[in-house]
Amino acid sequence: MDDFPARLRAIADLKVATMRNEGGRHEYDGAPADLSPDGIRDKLARLGRGDRFADDHDEAHARVVEGGLRVEFGELELHRSNPLYHLDELDVMGYDNEYAPEAERRAARERHLAEWPRVVDTALATLDRLSAPVAASLVDSARGLAAAVPADAPENVRTAALTAQRRLVKFLEKAAEHGDPSAALGGPALSRLMGASEGLEADLGSLAEQADTERDRLKERLAETTARIEPGRDPMDVVRGLVRDHPDPDSVVAEAAKWTEHAIAFARDRGLAPYPDGECEVRISPESQRWAPAMLVWAAPDDPEGPSYYFVSPPDPAWSEQESAEWLEMFSPTTLPAISVHEVAPGHFSHGRALRRAAGPVRRTLLSLSFCEGWAHYGEELCVDEGFGAYAEEAVGDGFSAAQFEAGVWILALIRVTRLAAAIGVHTGAMTVEDAARRFAEDTALAGPAALAEARRATIDPTYGRYTWGKLEILKLREAARRRWGSDYSLGRFHKAMLDLGAPPLGLLGTALERG
């Protein structure tokens, strides 16, 4: 751990939770970051200090990340308006990953929990720009943190941690009721936030147009697919009928495990990702992370070999029967296969396996979220093109059809593209959260709490349009690779060329063509 370059150490000190959980930098175990104004200023001042990286691409990659952090924490000071930064520093779910002996991880968790009062004090003192919609979006996540405090933790640590957690919940509840009603960052701020971290200019007008064009294309593909299932019916009506066939809450994990197995086997057989190894376990999401139906936590690049975890979130037991049913639609045989392709293979799990082989600490440590999510989203339609539907139809039987899988891909893609439209709308002030929820209900199969959860996510995750943005940039690059490489082009070559770069900023994807 002592050989970590100074340039990367300065970046890591601003992204402690990410570095520990996704990068495997366990020198940060039990030591959540100081996100106070003074702490942030000190860390920003150290960015860029240290030796230049020998590889030109790695140097450019580091510079983009440094620039993005200066915008995120320096110009926009998002740690003053978004509690998610502070919640990330409280989260202890990473200690469940089997990167070290259990006793060592338990001790690290207890040190981390002992820091909760400090982290909460800092959050309450720092969050002076917190809006009501952002607070409302994160109250449940803050409540869910209590479940992360084990019953066998030392009593003094447990009591202090839970007392601090309750103070944070009360703070967020008050802000949700009395805070600023607008969560909008403003168009220029959103453009800077999106573009700086990717080494690109983010033209929101152009991106909104691309989102509309992509939505129209996806609706056409959905209509073509649903016509094979129920000719003559409205495509969205067909979809809403399909997703009502969903498992009960107790079967969610088993169903996800089944599709995990099929996704991994298909990606391996078709050579869609360069490293088809490793173990992926399916588990129920920690309570603090149940704002998302599913997520993948990979075996970090600098961790010893171990399993990755595909987390799925069953409905909240406190929800009504209708709310639970609407949430479970995300786990229907129509949608869960596409979700599993995204989260597992050739999506995030496969990407994580490649990150473990990436050359050098820049590529293994500095991750563009737009590339990570763009790659996984790209993998969904890739699996349509490569025949996963027919593969699954034969493997699963029981009335499952290739058209059903394809419909699920288009449904999820419509959610992703609506995220881009919602993020732009909410943060330019053109939409309220309620408007965004209605947009999800109109353009996707989501309804009720699932549509509202997606809309609320725009307030706390303003760049969540990255799924579609990243996918579109990868597709542009793929066409360029076809032209440049000619008869030497293959999917395997193209995918390896990109993944050899780790998770590069979108503005640096061209290196894959130059070196692939």
Q: Can you give the pLDDT at residue 291? A: 63
For the chain, what percent of residues have pLDDT higher than 70?
99
**Does residue 226 sit in the same domain as residue 369?**
yes
Q: Is residue 47 part of a domain?
A: yes
pLDDT at 326: 82
Q: Give yes or no: residues 173 and 287 share one domain.
A: no
Domain termination site, one of 360, 394, 409: 409
Last residue of a domain, one of 360, 388, 409: 409
Query: Are 160 and 72 found together in one domain?
Result: yes
Pick from 461, 470, 411, 406: nearest CA to 436:
461
Domain boundary at 181, 215, 246, which?
181
Are 237 and 350 in a shared domain? yes
Does 141 map to a domain?
Answer: yes
140 and 208 in a common domain: no
Task: Based on the fold, state whether residues 232 and 288 are members of the same structural domain.
Answer: yes
The b/e string for 262-275 (b: 16+ C-beta within 10 A; e otherwise) is: bbbebbbebebbbb
Distances, alpha carbon 441 to alpha carbons 178, 207, 455, in Å: 28, 21, 10
Answer whether residue 189 is part of any domain.
Answer: no
131 and 239 co-located in one domain: no
Q: Are residue 347 and residue 222 in the same domain, yes or no?
A: yes
Are 263 and 169 members of one domain? no
Does the residue 461 lie in any domain? no
23 in a domain, yes or no?
yes
Give the domain extent around 303.
Answer: 203-409
Q: What are the tens digits of pLDDT across the range 240-271?
A: 899 888 888 889 999 999 999 999 999 999 99
Residue 271 — φ and ψ, nearest 5°? Answer: 65, 40
Whether 239 and 323 have beta carbons less than 8 Å apart is answered as: no
Q: For the whole model, what pTM was predicted?
A: 0.93
Within this chain, do residues 164 and 215 fall inside the same structural domain, yes or no?
A: no
Residues 378 and 229 grouped into a single domain: yes
Count other Cβ atoms within 10 Å, centred on residue 152. 8
Q: Which amino acid is at 445?
A: A
Where does the pLDDT of residue 328 fall: very low under 50, low under 70, confident under 90, or very high at 90 and above?
Answer: confident
Count structural domains, the chain: 2
Cα–chain center distance at 275: 21
Q: Given this model, what pLDDT does residue 1 score?
A: 42
Q: Across residues 151-156, what is the average pLDDT?
A: 95
**Is position 217 within any domain?**
yes
31 is a domain residue: yes
Give me 452's structure tokens. 């509202």
The pLDDT of residue 289 is 67
Tell me: pLDDT of 86 over 70. Answer: yes
**If DSSP codes are grouped into helix, strand and coil, which group holds residue 180?**
strand
pLDDT digits (tens, 9 = 90+) for 113-149: 999 999 999 999 999 999 999 999 999 889 989 988 9
Phi, psi of 280 (to 5 degrees): -125, 120
Cβ atoms of 425 and 476 closer than 8 Å: no
Stated length of the chain: 516
Which range, of 181-185, 297-301, 393-397, averages the lowest pLDDT? Answer: 393-397
Which pLDDT score, from 0 to 100, does residue 247 have?
A: 87
142 vs 144: CA distance, rounded Å: 5
> Does 38 fall in a domain?
yes
Do 71 and 217 have their domain in common? no
Q: Are 115 and 30 in contact (CB under 8 A)?
A: yes
